Structure 1
Amino acid sequence: MTESVLLFEPSLWSVIQVSDRDRLTFLHNQSTQAFRQRQPGEVCETVLVTATARILDLAIALIDQEAVWLLVSPNRQADLLQRLDRYIFFSDQVAVSDADSTLAVLTLVGDGTRSLLHTVVADALPEITESQHATLAIAGQSVQWVNYSGLRLPGSLLLVPVRGLAAVQAALQTAGAQPATAEQWELLRIQQGRPAVDRELTEDYNPLEAGLWHTLSFDKGCYIGQETIARLNTYKGVKQRLYGLELTTIPSQLPAPLSLEGEKVGVLTSAIATATGAIGLGYLRTKAGGAGLTVDCEGQPATVVNCPYLHHTYFEPESSGVPR
């Protein structure tokens, strides 16, 4: 029997399509990740930022033969489309468009994901890493499979033609995938530490503070927000960092202040109840400490913990790559 696999509906993601000859150079210049040398079939995460490196959104990019698909937050898609379009100059051969009418994203999370996919694909499942995508045939539809759940948990993302979405969903459920709720995703993302828009991803923060070091390229040259990010890394100037928190209770409202010995040292940005107690995510002043610290949240103790998705290691030029 297939191990439990959760199936999340497309509401978690919107899709932006970036096409035409200069698409990789354009994204290289507009986001934190290196794109110029990427090849069809590759996948990476990148952050779209302002000129001062403030966060607009965290995106998953699928590079294909004729386009790049950006999986973005639904409530940021319209703003991102406008911002990206603003940076297309007369000589650029780039087209940016809303792909939600043609493509939808299904999210699978669970140890049994690969076994489940084996039962629904028409051919053998290819061997790919979480940094790659491949084409699968499911329920007569050509589906782009990403061997990555968006979390540091086993799972997959499936980019599905909208016209065949119902058929693919039905095939997955028949194979044992269990329809999941937005609340279940919220629990998983907080446990893992994946930041969300309007909570941890706002223009109040930058990608280094948000623990998104794996989305940054420090040797690709100039891009929007590069100067600020490079300076913060060079001078080790990150003043606050995103952590998980084990809470006593959920605060009355969010964001909620975090304090230490009567002094505010951070802010709780997300919280949810679990079977064993409440958990959350929040930014903590770097000088206050990190994992293991106990802070106050509305008069109750909260313990600071590390999360699998988040990393806070400065990039050293002599190292071989960005810490993950």
Structure 2
Amino acid sequence: MRSFFINVTGKSIVRMSGRDSLDLLQRISTNDLLLVKSGEKVQTILTNDKGRIVDVVSVIPHGFDNLLLAGSNPTPAVLKGWIEKFVIMEDITVTDVTAEYYELLVFDLEPNVQDFYSQLGGDFVFEKWGSSTLLRLLGDTGSIDSVIRKLGEWGIGKELPGLFEKYRISNGIPAFPSELSTTYNPLEAGLDGMISWTKGCYVGQEVIARLDTYKKVQRKIVRLRLEKHPGGLPAAIMSREHQVGLLTSASRLDDAEGLVGLGYIKTSFLQTADELSIRGGTEPVRVTLM
């Protein structure tokens, strides 16, 4: 196994400064951020009042009143604007610092990866996505060449075209805008691990709690095996004449077994054994759950 990195510079990076920064973020996101006070880095989700996903962020403390937020949404204005929406009288300044940082994701991590990350300078955060872990590296844009060179010396290669997408889909990692957006809530997207069930209220908390308590989650993200690419995405997943889901991402595998995909399937259908297909081109494309 070999680790690789992908350059994702340009994704949302926002700085929150001011004595009320942590308190506000605690009130508008899903996870308990009290650990940030002791220097811990925490993944959390910004949700709207319907409990839908606005952004998934890693919170990196630079002191109690200075937080760096590394978002997943590729549009920095969304993250900045959403936070500013809730700033009224608080001592908080929200700044888009995306242009000041490089951002690399190391994936397919080897066990010894933790031995070197602290030598690179800048910031790092291990992000848990289900059973997979990504290492996000951030630092001053002027140092990116030296960091990439150092990664190469450690045997961490630059990703080949499509390699990260195949890794992401094969491991069930959702991404904007295909699986993460205000169309979906965190429970549908499999992000339960970024939700605290014991903290106080936050934006969208009542909806998310009700969905969990009464088992009302209508669809779930799943990995899929496809015979061939259906063409345009997203594509409706059918069972007989009824739409039961949506294929959102697809990538070809190295072997001769077709493609792997990510999509959302109605939870009521996941308990059945009915055949699935996508109507692509002249013939339906057969789909199976992984």
TM exceeding 0.5 = yes
CA contact (8 A) 2:10 2:98 kept: no
Q: Match for residue 71 of structure 2?
A: 72
Separation (CA, whole Å) in 2 of partners of 1:213 and 1:151: 9
Q: Match for residue 198 of structure 2?
A: 219
How many angstroms does 1:61 deviate by?
2.0
Q: Match for residue 171 of structure 2?
A: 192
Where 2:9 maps in the other structure, the secondary structure is helix
- Which segment drifts farther, 30-39 or 215-224? 30-39
Separation (CA, whole Å) in 2 of partners of 1:111 and 1:211: 21
How many angstroms does 1:187 deviate by?
1.1
Q: For residues 130-279 of structure 1, what are the structure 2 equivalents within 5 Å?
A: 136-138=118-120, 142-148=121-127, 152-153=131-132, 156-181=135-160, 183-276=162-255, 277-279=258-260
Separation (CA, whole Å) in 1 of partners of 2:6 and 2:73: 14
Deviations 1:163-219 (A, max 9, x none): 222211122223322111562221111111111112111222111111111111122
Letter of the aligned partner of 1:108 in structure 2? Answer: V
Deviations 1:88-142 (A, max 9, x none): 112x122221122322222222344735x74xx5xxx7xxxxxxxxxx343xxx3
Q: Match for residue 28 of structure 1?
A: 26
Q: Match for residue 102 of structure 1?
A: 100
Separation (CA, whole Å) in 2 of partners of 1:291 and 1:12: 42
Q: Match for residue 63 of structure 1?
A: 61
Q: Match for residue 93 of structure 1?
A: 91
Q: CA RMSD in A?
A: 2.4
CA contact (8 A) 1:109 1:154 kept: yes
Closer, same or farther: CA 251–204 of 1 in aligned 2, 3 Å? same
The percentage of counterpart residues that share the same residue type is 28
- Which segment drifts farther, 144-153 or 70-79? 144-153
- Which segment drifts farther, 251-260 or 283-292? 283-292
CA contact (8 A) 2:73 2:176 kept: no
Where 1:51 maps in the other structure, the secondary structure is coil
How many angstroms does 1:251 deviate by?
0.9
Aligned pair 1:82/2:81, yes or no?
A: yes
How many angstroms does 1:264 deviate by?
1.0
Q: Unaligned 5+ residue runs, structure 1?
A: 126-135, 306-324
Q: Unaligned 5+ residue runs, structure 2?
A: none
Letter of the aligned partner of 1:73 in structure 2? Answer: S
Q: Match for residue 318 of structure 1?
A: none
How many angstroms does 1:153 deviate by?
4.0
CA contact (8 A) 1:55 1:203 kept: yes
Q: Match for residue 321 of structure 1?
A: none
How many angstroms does 1:27 deviate by?
0.9
Deviations 1:64-100 (A, max 9, x none): 324222221352321121121121112x122221122
Separation (CA, whole Å) in 2 of partners of 1:98 and 1:182: 29
Where 1:193 maps in the other structure, the secondary structure is coil
- Which segment drifts farther, 30-39 or 240-249? 30-39
Closer, same or farther: CA 283–147 of 1 in aligned 2, 3 Å? closer
Where 2:34 maps in the other structure, the secondary structure is coil
Separation (CA, whole Å) in 2 of partners of 1:174 and 1:10: 20
Where 1:61 maps in the other structure, the secondary structure is strand
Separation (CA, whole Å) in 1 of partners of 2:166 and 2:271: 22
After TM superposition, which residue ranges in structure 1, 4 or more long, deviate above 6 angstroms?
Answer: none
Separation (CA, whole Å) in 1 of partners of 2:264 and 2:129: 21
How many angstroms does 1:26 deviate by?
1.0
Where 1:107 maps in the other structure, the secondary structure is strand
TM-score normalised per structure 1: 0.79
CA contact (8 A) 1:292 1:303 kept: no
